[in-house]
Amino acid sequence: MKQIAVVSGKGGTGKTTLSGSLSFLFKNHVMADCDVDAPNLHLLMEPKLKETHEYYGGKKAEIEGHRCTSCGICMNTCRFSAIIPGTPYRVDPYACEGCNACVLTCPEEAITLKESKSGDYFLSKAGELPLSHALLTPGEETSGGLIAEVRKLALKVAEQEEHDYVVIDGAPGIGCAASSSITGVNYVVIVAEPTISGMHDLQRIVETTRHFMRKFGIVINKFDLNTVKTDEIANWCNKEKIEILGNIPFDPEVRNSAIRAEPVVKNKNSAAAKAIKEIYYRLLDLI
């Protein structure tokens, strides 16, 4: 069984457009939506919910008001500005990282760490296709751990039901969430866009992918929007010996199919669909 992750240094480059279409093209696979912060893949699939799991990613400090003497030691200890002074002192749950330092220093033993729910993860079925996905509680930060759960669940199903592939719609960015989407996968597809920021974002995600020593190739989305920038990306890839898996044109059909909430490859005659199909065949060769 092989794991393929679709990522981009940044959101909005067409990651879900591509992975939604791959979910339609691949056979005998499991999908995992690792953008737990703003998951969208399920919108393309009308999945039926099969399992829900609660995710407890970390802890938060809690101050027992009647024991607090407002001495301020906890506030001075906390390095995350998570303690709000007052009578009694309070914890800002958004800033608290559950590190334990305030608990250790409180002379009145008024502070404890409590398990905190950071989100839910789900197994759904879209027709025959298993989809593992999640939703982070807004404002939470432990998305790397939740992504790990989404991937574990996808792998479990893939093993149990003997699927050939796990296709991962990765998280945007280059931080913890993006890293968690690509660790240990067999192949990373990086989606880039030919814009002044696209080049900058691409270089950062390539560096991140190399940091995790994964094999990867690049797809340029909306390549005809700015051919100067597309050439720049192509030249850079050539110099860095990075394979370009394909170019997807700027095609209004992409947006139309998004409004209909269906993968763009469903409309086989669209220019974007044709390009994505070629990318799919290239991917099959490579993995």
**Chain positions contacting other proteins, by CB under 8 A:** 9-13, 16, 37-38, 40, 43, 58-59, 77, 79-81, 94-95, 97-101, 104-105, 113, 136, 138-141, 143-144, 172-176, 178-179, 193-198, 200-201, 204, 207-208, 211, 222, 225-226, 229, 250, 252, 255, 258-259, 261
Q: Which is nearer to other proteins, 104 or 287 (CB)?
A: 104
Distance CA 74, CA 61 (A): 11
Least CB distance to other proteins at residue 144 (A): 7
Distance CA 128, CA 214 (A): 30
165 contact partners, CB below 8 Å, separation of at least 6 = 1, 2, 3, 4, 26, 28, 29, 30, 158, 287
Least CB distance to other proteins at residue 11 (A): 2
Least CB distance to other proteins at residue 14 (A): 8
Q: Which is nearer to other proteins, 157 or 233 (CB)?
A: 233
Least CB distance to other proteins at residue 278 (A): 23
State yes or no: cis peptide before 88, omega within 30 of 0. yes
Least CB distance to other proteins at residue 130 (A): 21
Number of C-beta neighbours around residue 38 at 10 A: 12
Distance CA 199, CA 218 (A): 12
Q: Which is nearer to other proteins, 43 or 286 (CB)?
A: 43
Q: Which of 22, 26, 21, 7 is nearest to 147 (CA)?
A: 7
Q: Which is nearer to other proteins, 132 or 179 (CB)?
A: 179
Tokens of 96: 């608290």
Distance CA 80, CA 134 (A): 27
Least CB distance to other proteins at residue 33 (A): 12
Least CB distance to other proteins at residue 158 (A): 26
Distance CA 152, CA 172 (A): 19
Q: Which is nearer to other proteins, 10 or 214 (CB)?
A: 10
- Spatial contact of 16 and 181, defined as CB atoms under 8 Å apart: no
Using alpha carbons, list the distances in angstroms from residue 239 to 15, 77, 205, 224.
24, 50, 17, 21
Q: Which is nearer to other proteins, 49 or 287 (CB)?
A: 49
Q: Which is nearer to other proteins, 22 or 157 (CB)?
A: 22
